[in-house]
Structure 1
Amino acid sequence: MSVRHIIEKRRRLRRVLDYIEHHLSENITLAALADVACLSKFHFERFYAEALLETPLVTVRRLRLARAQALLHEGADVTSTALSCGYGSPQTFARAFHRSFGVTPSVMRQSAPLPRYQVGVAELPPRRVYRLPFADFEDPSATFDNLLARAENRGIARAAWTVWSQVDSGLDDVSSGACIERLNGVVPIGGACEGAIGGGRHLVVRWRGNDRPSPPELRRLAAAHTGLAPAPGRVLCHYVNDPVFTAPHERLADYYLPLK
């Protein structure tokens, strides 16, 4: 499959996931999702399952419950959470929630929320990477689409993708870019630059959610949690899950800030 066709496939999937994310409180049907993807129901379901390794309606159910968990941690009551996550009654919601998390919504509501971030210090070995700059494309998602499509086109299995980005003053910085680690035996990726990232001691901030900590915020966290001073160098971001196909409230990323 050509790079252009793989990019189009990723864009179709992202349209579907965006639709799901914005309509979780509504009745989401397979027909509606197929329409968003501009495919027949039969071809869409197969296309989706091959790409994301689960059916569309399993994704809907999983994201509804993940959003419900976040709302309960924020203090929302069970009834309003059920309705805002697309369940017809609190009872139906409670049964589905218990099957997924092993506790009732009321118990989850009283538990401590997951921390927004965790801070540590680690040695980051140098890594060889292929890189595409963000400035060459209209947005970071398009850059990741392009780089990962090129990797898929070269026969690199998704299991081998270790996806990073280089971030300096922000995602619109001309020197920032999307990277995929070049593992031993991985073939060259046409159109991508080869380089290296990492090396040395770094502050590591595991960040949960869709927003991104700024480099100044990372430096503040370094001082507050470690007492160590940051060193000159680029901030690196390692995506724990797919930065494009993961729901905003489920995204995890590890930010690495060089330390002296």
Structure 2
Amino acid sequence: MVDRYHYQARFQRVVDYIYEHLDEPLDLNSLADIAHMSPTHWHRVYQAICGETLAATVKRLRLHQAAARLINTELSVEQIARSSGYSALPSFNRAFSQAYGLPPARFRAEGSHSKFVLAIAAKENEAMVEEAMMDVRIEQIEQPIPIVGVRHQGPYIEIGKAFEKLNAWLMQVDAWRYLKTVIGIYHDDPTCVAPQDLRSHACAVLKPDHGLAIPDEVEQLEVAAGRYAVLRFKGPYAGLQQAYHWLFSVWLPQSGEELGDQPCFEDYLNNPREVAPEALLTDIYLPLRE
């Protein structure tokens, strides 16, 4: 008899393959071969596990990758469209606009990340420093918070791969009734550590009485107690890098605070499968000294 973890292994193979081939043509039916299932049954199983179709996942991940490249590289829109699986630029512009609310070129210049870019530039002018400040609250976490997570090594923007695997496990064991929130923990400084060596975890905070058996690929961790500066970011995850840059280069020097030793983490307040990228809410937690 096949148990639920058998499907988890199949799912992980497919997720790994998708992430490794986002820049290439993907035959959705061929992914069933990787899962060792018939296309019809595999598509049904995938949608039941993930809450969206396989085609929707591939489209969402490709557009997320495109958004990150628009913000963090100087590649042309045409180059980004081709590397996102769109042979025709109008098709890419239309799909991106539907998902992100702006065509690619305008998103690059005017997306939610742009206010942080402008605020960082404003700090060069002392008269504009106050205008460059945004709302940051200080929060005290009194006790360590137990969490479970899937390890990711590589660029932080690709942690979605670990979240897909975490999500699949949560769905398969019907853990949603125990879920309090989903967070990402980021252990390394991306300005000092090579992208391929960055360590992070895609995590779930579960109610204490969950009683779930934790498989080997899911680690038991904790969020450290302590003081944190918390910035709420609204917009696509691709823009989070600019928010971090603002926190470290503008807010921290003006705050009188010192950084703590704990890793940064992010609390994801809504679901990218359910809301548009511009409506995503993320609380960024920056550790502070007591």
TM beyond 0.5: yes
CA contact (8 A) 1:121 1:201 kept: no
CA contact (8 A) 1:119 1:225 kept: no
What 5-or-longer segments of structure 1 have no aligned partner? Answer: 171-175, 213-217
Aligned residue in 2 for 1:202? 228
| Identical pairs, percent | 25
> Residue type matched to 1:201 in 2?
R
Aligned residue in 1 for 2:268? 240
Q: CA deviation digits over 1:64-100, x for unaligned, max 9?
A: 2222222233332222222111112112222222222
Alpha carbons of structure 1 residues 241 and 47: separation in structure 2 relative to 1, 3 Å: farther
Aligned residue in 1 for 2:67? 69
> Is residue 178 of structure 2 the alignment partner of residue 162 of structure 1?
no
Written as runs of structure 1 = structure 2, the 5 A alignment for 1:131-210 is 149=169, 153=173, 156-157=175-176, 160-163=179-182, 180-183=204-207, 186-189=209-212, 199-204=225-230
Aligned residue in 2 for 1:259? 289
Aligned residue in 1 for 2:104? 105
* Matched position secondary structure for 2:175: coil
> Residue type matched to 1:183 in 2?
K
Q: CA deviation digits over 1:9-38, x for unaligned, max 9?
A: 344333322322232233212212112222
Return the match for 1:123 from 136, 139, 142.
Answer: 139
* Paired residues, number: 234
What 5-or-longer segments of structure 2 have no aligned partner? Answer: 118-133, 154-158, 190-199, 242-246, 274-279
Give the alignment's TM-score, normalised by structure 1: 0.62
Q: Give, in whole Å, the separation in 1 of the partners of 2:74 and 2:48.
A: 37
Alpha carbons of structure 1 residues 179 and 76: separation in structure 2 relative to 1, 3 Å: closer
Alpha carbons of structure 1 residues 190 and 151: separation in structure 2 relative to 1, 3 Å: farther
Return the match for 1:12 from 10, 13, 18.
Answer: 10
CA contact (8 A) 2:97 2:104 kept: yes
* Matched position secondary structure for 2:14: helix
RMSD value, Cα = 5.0
Aligned residue in 2 for 1:41? 39
